[in-house]
Amino acid sequence: MKSKVLLFLFSLCFFFFDCESNRHQQGEILYLNFCASCHMDDGTGLAGNIPPLAQSDYVSQNQGRLACIIRYGMEGEVVVNGKTYQNPMAGIPQLSEFEIANIINYVNQAWGNDYGYLPMNVVRDGLEECRE
């Protein structure tokens, strides 16, 4: 009996650890499918044309806007790390808010970024504000 309880707790433990790593894994897969063609696998962008997401002051300072950028895109001038970019980015409307959150949280900790964890409710509020 006791060993069954232990086994149960043990598997529960595994389950939770797995969930934790799956979350970043899904974010990474989505990033590679939907973002890497422009922002590159390593988040460095394309000099002069596409701004970086790795070590991007814009990403670290505009956490609340990231969900809107992913869903609705962005155009006009944007300054990232002192360099000006001006090419429109199309929105990606088919991503759910969970998928968007997973992508943001992947970006926030990838490539040496240390921008913290963005909770789901912040992502949702961000999307509320920019909904057209």
Residue 127 interacting with ligand HEC (CB under 6 A): no
Nearest to 31 by CA among 118, 103, 100: 103
> Do the beta carbons of residue 24 and residue 106 sit within 8 Å?
yes
Stretch near ligand HEC under the rule CB under 6 A, chosen from 1-9, 14-22, 85-93, 111-119: 85-93
Alpha-carbon span 102 to 30, nearest angstrom: 8
> Do the beta carbons of residue 91 and residue 125 sit within 8 Å?
no
* Candidate residues 85, 118, 123, 126; the one interacting with ligand HEC per rule CB under 6 A: 85
* Candidate residues 92, 110, 118, 123; the one interacting with ligand HEC per rule CB under 6 A: 92
Residue 34 interacting with ligand HEC (CB under 6 A): yes
Residue 64 CB-half CA count within 13 A: 6
Residue 110 interacting with ligand HEC (CB under 6 A): no
Residue 76 interacting with ligand HEC (CB under 6 A): yes
Report the interface residues with ligand HEC, using CB under 6 A: 34-35, 37-39, 50-53, 56, 58-59, 66, 69-70, 74-76, 78, 80, 85-87, 89, 92, 103, 107
